[in-house]
Amino acid sequence: MRIGKCGMSFVPVCDNNVRLTLTLDLTPPLPANAGVLDRWAAEPVQHIFLPASAFIENVKGYPVLPKGTQALIRQSMIHHPTFILSGVDSGIHAMGSESAYSQYVKHLEKTSPVVQAAKKEGTVEHFAQGYQDYLQNPLQPLMDNLQSITYQTFEQDPVKYYNYEEAIYRALVEWPDTERIVICVAGAGRGPLVSRSLKAIRRSKKEAFIYAVEKNPNAFVTLQGRKAKEWGSSVELIAGDMRRVDVPEPVDILVSELLGSFGDNELSPECLDGAMRFLKPDGISIPSSYTAHLAPLSSSKLYNAARESKDLKGVETPYVVMFQNVNILSGDGGGVAGRCGAKIQECWEFGHPSKDVTVDERGQTLDWSNELSLAHGETGLPLTNSHNVRSAKTTFHIPHAGVMHGLAGYFEAVLYGDVGLSIHPNRKEQVSKDMLSWFPLFFPFRDPLYLPSNSELQVSIWRLTNERQVWYEWYAESYLPVANASAAVEETEDTSGSDGPSFSSTSTYVAVPSPIVDAVDVFPLEVRPESRRGSAEVKVPCGVVKIGQTALHNPGGRSSWIGLT
């Protein structure tokens, strides 16, 4: 397959068969736009054909590749391709034997950022070896008790716990010196946040006490052992669900690590709704807020993995995935008409403590000094979960043609002040570099959706709930801009009237109309300011036509959901 040609056209014809692989032909010339080449990261590339004519001579006469080709090959190492060298015995370069070409390719492999990151301990790429592009079902933190091996995996993340310690330390330092500070770790697991809280207390030289709440009986046994051997009287353990148990006194700082790959997908909002009643009116929650983010994604490998089960549930379940053979299809810049958002867009935000939640009597009037009040039958939970419903509609610019197989989901969290956590591709290096605890979330589509160059993609996503569960629904529509050409004209008498046809000019380019004609006016036509009298550049309205859509996925939570009990 010539690299300059579109190999996507026959892949869907073969039903994305897993036995189908591609060989990239790097015979020059290659496309000048590097963005066109990104698509191959998402395709099943197994071989790369590299003729001697693709090489140029360096100052010493040895064969090397142009910088653009070097970058493409280094990135292609994610596929572990087999290289097919051709014409290396033709003698077209002054220096070097046939082996010079293969040695140079090996050099590119060794210097590939992908390969180097996988070999360096402490990086996400090294930690995740064997998990790349492997679909994992998200955790069910309320329905299930995590196994010890799961806790052990999370506890290997030094970056996350360092950031938590720093956030707790800063909150302690800013707390008034005259008061005894009470900290509650809600969902203590096997105790890593308790230990980090104690370190932060020692660093701050403040007087503080910790309550650790945990519902998992197996993890609670570990907490009891650590209290006896490490923590002593500085920590009090409380067994039970944070939404139903009580702590003996009001809390100044509430610490939790209930976040999921999409921020809220492991029910952090619902869990913390029940724990917020522990807080004093001026109390601090760590984290204080978190946001969910989306981007359109192409990956034939993930698409095939999602539909392996042959039933609807496989393609209507969000999966936790360490992305590797993927390509984010969206771009920055606003698109043809400037109405599109960023490459990766925010969907919604949750903040704690929430000020707009109505709770029952216990949550409003809990008397910490009255044992009868503590034993009262009300729960202190919100009357409904409707305040945790969210929805978003985002519009993406698609600069280069591609096939969308799903959506990539990310999160960012503010712990305290400017200390946070992030798996957002553009900000994770600055916020929490090499954090290991979370891989992105993958929302698959049942059927791939082809997106032409310079098209627009509108993604709708909902976070919905009832009394038993929380689930996501998602849907996408594609549009092609209908942009009228600008023309420099002399002012003439208007014979058509101000309400004349928008596309009547013979100089206007009109895209082929979509058969779904009722979608033409989904976006309002943008009428730009009229030109001044005399010779001027006239700009006319711009709209879109609908060219495709997906089905609504997971309506009513029919295939996937997170249980509240």
Is 349 annotated as catalytic? no
Closest C-alpha among 75, 13, 69, 7 to residue 38: 75
Is 125 annotated as catalytic? no
Q: What are residue 212's DSSP bridge partners?
A: 185, 237
Query: Which DSSP symbol is given to 442?
Result: E
CB 280 within 8 A of CB 213: no
| Phi and psi torsions of 117, nearest 5° | -65, -35
Q: How far from 220 is each of 182, 189, 278, CA to CA, in Å?
A: 21, 7, 20
Closest C-alpha among 94, 252, 113 to residue 178: 252
Give 376's Cβ-side CA count (13 Å radius): 17
In the chain, % helix, strand, coil (3-state, to 5) comes to 25, 30, 45
Closest C-alpha among 309, 301, 269, 306 to residue 287: 269
472: left (phi over 0), alpha (psi -120 to 50) or beta: beta
How many CB atoms are located within 10 Å of the residue 333 CB? 12
Q: How far apart are CA 139 and CA 143, in angstroms?
A: 9
Candidates 257, 412, 456, 473; catalytic one: 257
Closest C-alpha among 82, 96, 2 to residue 52: 96
Q: How far apart are CA 560 and CA 558, in angstroms?
A: 6
Candidates 165, 266, 270, 412; catalytic one: 266
**Catalytic site positions:** 257, 266
